[in-house]
């Protein structure tokens, strides 16, 4: 199975050239606090590609998606697209699970405080093969620059613990634009697929993972 992954397009998805694969994944931040019409535009664009299966989650910029998840899920389904929101889908025997949740940072969308976030991670099934979250685990492709030569890890420690327990083959995420790349930790390949760079410009190529 060839999985084509993008994330953090922030309304500029039409600038992205997608290679062919079996499954197309968007790991959140589809818009920059976008409107209903922005999401309808994205779904039409997403659905227009030849990939047999198409899956997306939300991110902290996806304000309308958090407010109206049922409407967007219904529109997506009518276009043959799957919206995952602390939920999963089986594709050709492969178990996918998706969640938009990230640790609290100001008051953006799909963010949770430390005392609440573990409830979301507990939902991840033990048999998950491909985990899609908007943000990274703590300490893996999660560093942001707070000052010149001063970086800070911003991933989730509780998610790191759950990923270690579940041990999916792939953990696909974005959120931290400046950490595009891949790293193998234990048996899980962590893949930051942020399409925009830190200057909010489309720069990074879609990532293909094979299972």
Band of the pLDDT at 70, cuts 50, 70, 90? very high
Is residue 181 over pLDDT 90?
yes
Overall average pLDDT of the 168-190 stretch: 97
Overall average pLDDT of the 71-98 stretch: 98
Query: How far is CA 24 from its chain centroid?
Result: 12
Q: What is the pLDDT of residue 151?
A: 80
Residue 42's nearest CA partner among 34, 50, 194 is 34
Is residue 66 over pLDDT 90?
yes
Overall average pLDDT of the 18-40 stretch: 96
Q: What is the pLDDT of residue 149?
A: 75
DSSP the chain: -EEEEEB--TT-GGGPPPPP-SEEEE-S--SSS--HHHHHHHHHHHHTS--SEEEE---TT-HHHHH-HHHHHHHHHHTT-EE-SSEEEEETTEEEEEE--EE--TT-TTEE-HHHHHHHHTTS-TT-SEEEESSPBTTSS-EEEEETTEEEE-SBHHHHHHHHHH--SEEEE-S-GGG-EEEEETTEEEEE-B-B-TTS-B-SPPEEEE-
Q: What is the pLDDT of residue 156?
A: 97
Average pLDDT, the chain: 96
Q: Give the full edge-to-edge strand order of the sheet including 23-26.
A: 82-83, 53-56, 23-26, 2-6, 207-210
Residue 85, C-beta contacts closer than 8 angstroms, at least 6 positions apart: 57, 58, 69, 73, 98, 99, 100
Is residue 179 over pLDDT 80?
yes
pLDDT, tens digit, 9 for 90 and up, residues 127-167: 999 999 999 999 999 998 877 777 888 899 999 999 999 99
Contact by Cβ (8 Å): 111, 102? yes
Q: What is the pLDDT of residue 107?
A: 80
Q: What is the pLDDT of residue 89?
A: 98
Residue 112, C-beta contacts closer than 8 angstroms, at least 6 positions apart: 101, 102, 103, 104, 120
- The percent of residues in the chain predicted with pLDDT above 90, rounded, is 90
Tokens of 149: 């030569």
Q: What is the pLDDT of residue 49?
A: 98
Overall average pLDDT of the 91-102 stretch: 98
pLDDT, tens digit, 9 for 90 and up, residues 35-65: 999 999 999 999 999 999 999 999 999 999 9
């Amino acid at each position: 199975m060839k999985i084509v992954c993008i994330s953090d397009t922030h309304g500029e998805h039409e600038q992205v050239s997608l290679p062919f694969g079996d499954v197309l994944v968007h790991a959140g931040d589809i818009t920059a606090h976008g409107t209903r019409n922005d999401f309808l535009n994205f779904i039409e664009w997403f659905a227009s590609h030849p990939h047999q299966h198409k899956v997306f989650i939300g991110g902290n910029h996806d304000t309308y998606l958090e407010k109206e998840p049922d409407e967007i899920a219904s529109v997506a389904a009518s276009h043959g697209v799957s919206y995952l929101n602390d939920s999963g889908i089986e594709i050709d025997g492969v178990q996918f699970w998706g969640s938009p949740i990230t640790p609290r940072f100001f008051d953006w969308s799909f963010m949770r405080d430390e005392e609440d976030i573990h409830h979301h991670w507990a939902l991840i099934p033990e048999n998950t093969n491909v985990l899609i979250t908007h943000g990274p685990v703590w300490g893996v492709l999660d560093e942001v620059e707070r000052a010149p030569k001063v970086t800070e890890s911003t991933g989730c420690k509780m998610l790191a613990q759950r990923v270690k327990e579940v041990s999916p083959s792939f953990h696909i995420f974005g959120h931290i634009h400046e950490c595009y790349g891949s790293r193998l930790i234990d048996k899980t390949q962590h893949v930051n697929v942020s399409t925009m760079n830190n200057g909010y410009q489309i720069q990074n190529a879609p990532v293909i993972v094979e299972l």
